[in-house]
Structure 1
Amino acid sequence: MDLGALDAFVAIADTGSFSAAGERLFLTQPAVSKRIAALEAQLGRRLFDRVGREVALTEAGLALLPRARRILAELDDSRRALGNLDAEVGGRLSLATSHHVGLHRLPPLLRAFSQSHPAVALDIQFLDSERAWAQVLGGRAELALTTLGPAAPPLQAVPVWDDPLEFVVAPDHPLAARRTVRLDGIAAHPAVLPDANTFTHRIVADCFASAGLAPQLRMTTNYMETLKMLVSVGLAWSVLPHTMLDAQTRVLRVPGIRLRRQLGHVSHTGRTLSNAARAFMALLDGAAGGRRTGAT
């Protein structure tokens, strides 16, 4: 079975498009179609139904997909294990990062890493934290740099940044003038928060649930910059990282309530990490150690 054809098959399944798969693999669309045609001929099964511009996996395609992922993951693992025999740090490093971490925490680290290891080709995907974890679990990324939630084997989560969260409103919001406010007072007003399946939403929802309350959701979005904009125009209250606060927002002081989350890196304990991934993890762990030392 041709590994290039399997690569094309998985890329189409992930992107839902022959042309998008070609862009991901740096191939033309006809080249991708040729690989799939060869794979279908070899297997004697149609793998995709093509209706207009829509592409959907057939029953045979659905059965092949998890096996194809495992084969490609094993191949990548073997390549990394052999590459690690050479102490040089090079090759490709696949990272999946949340938008917030990627925009607000990673830039200085990426600059330092690129300067120290210019032979490494960085492949960075910007995804929701939960999807980034799935990329690591499925072997499509070596490391995820995200908000951390409960980690279970085979995933391992390591904190790097402590990220305090604040209840915020617009300067002209009815709650903005109060010196302190209770949770039930906040719950009486509409909220904008990340989606319910995100780690951050769960932190906020658990806080309210412990008081027998629930936020009134006006809408959800997983982009912190969008949440800040919606707050700043007075649409609703939200919860934002302390590092994002400025004159567009007012912090609500809630006695006895302190929200925080951990940001860090996630890896797969059952997979061999490349020298590049190990070097990047060492940089992250050094940054975390420096902050802990500076705090003492």
Structure 2
Amino acid sequence: MNTDELRWFAALAEREHMTSVARELHISQPALSRAIHRLEQQLGVALFDRRGRVLRLNHHGRRYLPYARHALEQLDAGAAALADVADAEHGEIRLWFSHTLGSWLVPALVGAYREEHPGVRFRLTQRGTVGLIDAFDDGAADLIVMGPRPAGRALGWHHLITEPVLLAVPPDHRLAARKSVKLHEIADDPFIAMRPGNALRRLADDLCHAAGFEPRIAFEGDEIATLRGLIAAGLGVGLVTTQRVAAEAVTTATPHLRVRDPGCERPLGLVWDPDRPATPVVAAFRAFVVEHGHRLAAAQAP
């Protein structure tokens, strides 16, 4: 059976008049009759009772009609979805991003794009850094905003901005009055850190190891706001991102010191899978971010 046969059957089931239905469908009456006959042969039952020129939907036809209508609805919905995807002004973009970027970078990119393209829809998903790029493997993500650049995979990458990573200390900490610090100076302090696997945690561990010590972890969390709150309460010190400090309008007096150790920063960018063809709407947004993303990101800097 094919789509036309299902549509013609549904139309004939509603009208039960071969001539008028053939006229409405702009086909010949013999063509309609042959199509219904082919459908009945494939199903193995008659769908109509025929008495001369009169057609009546029989009990087989009444039982089959809801399924035919449902199949047609699904086919039409699928065609509409594909047409929607192909429309650069009204399609959907599945954008994934790491936790620390949801309060400033992602809103800046999405907001600016929607001002110019209000019909585009975004399906946003926020995740920890661990396994974030796995969203490409199962086709769940079109684009990802994260940092640093994923290693070990041939993924597309466009650098947006590099944000400094600062050392947050309690207000009464011995280094609180300083503007900058070397990490070896806090080697004996308890650390408030992100959970293992997070990109910022990996950076913190690497920086501490390069400075010659193993950080003594007092708490592991999922949100930088939580880390900074515990640091302000005097539970330890920790590395946080400067952009996040600006975005969250910190009300505590927690000092944030510049770290003079090399590499105490985090590059952020847009990631995509070059092996998966981009739909027009995804390609258009990616091009927008490549052209304007650095400016939009820099405007969020403190």
Task: Spell out, residue by residue over 1:259-294, the C-alpha distance to the aligned partner (whole angstroms, 9 max, x if none).
Answer: 100111111111011222112212221234547999
Aligned twin of 1:284: 289
Match of 2:275 among 258, 270, 275: 270
How many angstroms apart in 1 are the aligned matches of 2:85 and 2:195?
43
Aligned twin of 2:105: 105
- Which structure would you say has the larger Rg? 2
Q: Secondary structure at the match of 2:157?
A: strand
Question: Would the aligned equivalents of 1:84 and 1:274 in 2 still touch at CA under 8 Å?
Answer: no
> 2:147 matched to 1:142?
no
How many angstroms apart in 2 are the aligned matches of 1:293 and 1:263?
11
Aligned twin of 2:173: 173
Aligned twin of 1:125: 125
Matches within 5 A, 1:48-63: none
How far has the Cα of 1:211 moved from its partner? 2.8
Aligned twin of 1:4: none
Q: Percent identity?
A: 25
Matches within 5 A, 1:183-202: 183-202=183-202
In structure 2, stretches of 5+ residues that fail to align are 1-78
How far has the Cα of 1:96 moved from its partner? 0.8
Question: Would the aligned equivalents of 2:95 and 2:144 in 1 still touch at CA under 8 Å?
Answer: yes
How far has the Cα of 1:239 moved from its partner? 0.8
Question: Would the aligned equivalents of 2:85 and 2:280 in 1 still touch at CA under 8 Å?
Answer: no
How many angstroms apart in 2 are the aligned matches of 1:252 and 1:111?
31
145-154 vs 197-206, which moves further: 145-154
Question: Would the aligned equivalents of 1:160 and 1:287 in 2 still touch at CA under 8 Å?
Answer: no
Amino acid at match of 1:93: I
How many angstroms apart in 1 are the aligned matches of 2:117 and 2:257?
44
Aligned twin of 2:254: 249
Aligned twin of 2:229: 229
How many angstroms apart in 2 are the aligned matches of 1:179 and 1:112?
34
How far has the Cα of 1:144 moved from its partner? 0.8
How many angstroms apart in 2 are the aligned matches of 1:194 and 1:270?
32
Provide TM-score, normalisation by structure 2. 0.63
Aligned twin of 2:31: none
How many angstroms apart in 1 are the aligned matches of 2:242 and 2:96?
23
Q: Structure 1 pair 86/191, CA: closer, same or farther in 2 (3 Å)?
A: closer
How many angstroms apart in 1 are the aligned matches of 2:143 and 2:265?
23
How far has the Cα of 1:164 moved from its partner? 0.7
173-182 vs 162-171, which moves further: 173-182
In structure 1, stretches of 5+ residues that fail to align are 1-78
Q: Structure 1 pair 163/169, CA: closer, same or farther in 2 (3 Å)?
A: same
Task: Spell out, residue by residue over 1:134-154, the C-alpha distance to the aligned partner (whole angstroms, 9 max, x if none).
Answer: 112331110111122433334
Q: Structure 1 pair 140/260, CA: closer, same or farther in 2 (3 Å)?
A: same
How far has the Cα of 1:132 moved from its partner? 2.5
Aligned twin of 2:60: none
Let me know the Cα RMSD of the aligned residues. Answer: 3.1
Question: Would the aligned equivalents of 2:85 and 2:281 in 1 still touch at CA under 8 Å?
Answer: no
Task: Spell out, residue by residue over 1:191-217, the C-alpha distance to the aligned partner (whole angstroms, 9 max, x if none).
Answer: 111122122112111111123211111
